[in-house]
Amino acid sequence: SSLGVPLRKSSGAMVSVSGAAMPLLPALLLCCAAWACEAAPGSAPEGLWPQPTGPTHSSGPPLRLAPHFRLVAGQPAEGAGDVDGSVDAVSRCTRLERALARYETLILDGDRVGALGRASPKSSLGGASAGAELLGCSIELGGSADCDGVPRLGDNESYVLEVRAPWARLSALGFAGVVRGLETLSQLVHCDGVDSCFVNASDVRIEDAPRFPWRGAMLDSARHFLPAPTILKMLDAMVANKLNVLHWHITDDQSFPLRTTAYPELVRGAYSPKYTYAREDVKAIVEAAADRAIRVVAELDTPGHSLSWAVGYPDLAVQECHTLDPTNEATYTMLQAVFAEVAQLFPDAYMHLGCDEVSFACWNTSKKVTSWMQAQGVPRTDLGFKSLTARYIGRVQGIAKALGKTSVVWQEAMDHYGDSIADPTPPTDQLDEETIVEQWLAPPWNWANLSSIVEPGYIGRNDSWAHGFRALTTNGWYLDNTDVNSWDKVSIGGDGASFALEGVIP
């Protein structure tokens, strides 16, 4: 399962399947369809998305699922039609039990056929293996991973799936691998809409592991509010594509929908009181994501994109510039408290700090910003405003790091605020070495490309900076671009987007 060309900030982004573009959310379902046809001898299994990265084999006629097909944790008893019930301690965990129940329903749910728009299998099932039935699939979870823990970057997602009567076998070294393998099994199964379901071949072996450790979908629910049940549905669409990170862009100029206890007036920046997320909503989403081996990385974008913060706390913002006030110590006191609360709600090791699109020209018109700069001896020049922004980034990164979080930032934090008039500029000294830099701006605009981010010795940096950063790459399709007349002509542009796919460059 691999995904290397991702998206940024779009509401209804696109994916390309076999070179044909289609709307993303339907595609997240449609591209998972398994087609009812007999596999050619020795061919790769059909209907899988994404395609496995390891060796595959598929042959023989379709194999009927037994009426009481089951997914079980343990080894089938040799020569018997049941399992022996011996399950190791690692295998027996609540997340695994919920995953087996969820996929057992999914695999046997004939209604899913119509929802996914699969072709009718009736004409091709005549060659099904006579008398042979698949009683179930045994799940073997090895290793010492904490099955009930939260997913982490670098979790083992590899698996081996073997399908032969009477029992299929799925083996993995981590819970994430089990989930990815169960998704693959579900894609191999189709139902006839009457009373039978089939695997599309009677002899299947698949070895798979992801190409990228970070395969994400960005959701911007600040510009376009989505209720918690809708986000839960999105998680199902993500796991169907073996995506493993929900990058939740939760605040922006347009709204601050997250209810906080530390600074309760922040939620006044929401569209309305009903368009908000309570702590219970966030916890339910994070837990459901973990059940699907999906991490949830929260983004609170500052100092720009922060007009909504000013509704509740106007003294801590430069409202005309849509930013927080980087010169006010009370701003950092607020960020410390809010970040601490967010760190508890989102247990992932990473926190996205944003740090993009700061307008120096606007700050230059702000009396409180320029007065502070004059008092501190900071010149009202491009370099002066860069140093002010770099100072802010260093402070907020320090807050996040003290809370045990590694920072993710948009690329401007790396290539726009250094001590040079060049554009791009060297990374600021305040940018922590462990930072992940998310690239979203096109290199033709003279901004950093991936090689600039990940390789040592970036433009103008002194020799002591002998490392590169880890990077995410993000490309976007924007539906509010007036030049877009069809799905085939979608291009980057506009703003106000709400969805993105991301792939990591390790």
Q: What residues are labeled active site?
A: 357
**Residue 282 to residue 265: CA distance in whole angstroms:** 18
Cβ distance 496 to 305 under 8 Å? no
- Residue with token string 């006030």: 325
Cis peptide before 444 (omega within 30 of 0): no
> Measured between alpha carbons, how far is residue 406 from residues 251, 349, 400, 440 in Å?
19, 6, 7, 20
What CA–CA distance (Å, rounded) separates 495 from 114? Answer: 35
* Residue 388 identity (one-letter amino acid): L
DSSP E strands: which ranges in 167-294? 167-172, 189-191, 197-199, 203-208, 215-220, 245-251
Residue 90, SS3? Answer: coil
Residue from 173, 201, 177 nearest 187 by CA: 201
How far from the centroid of its chain's Cα atoms is residue 398's Cα? 25
The tokens of 156 are what?
Answer: 């083992």
Contact between 192 and 160 under an 8 Å Cβ cutoff? The reply is no
Question: Which positions ≥6 away from 31 have C-beta within 8 Å?
Answer: 15, 17, 49, 241
Helical segments of 123-191, H only: 175-188
In 3D space, the residue among 194, 201, 200, 170 whose CA is nearest the CA of residue 67 turns out to be: 194
- Judged on CB neighbours under 10 Å (0-12, 13-18, 19+), 214 is buried
Residue with tokens 């807050």: 399
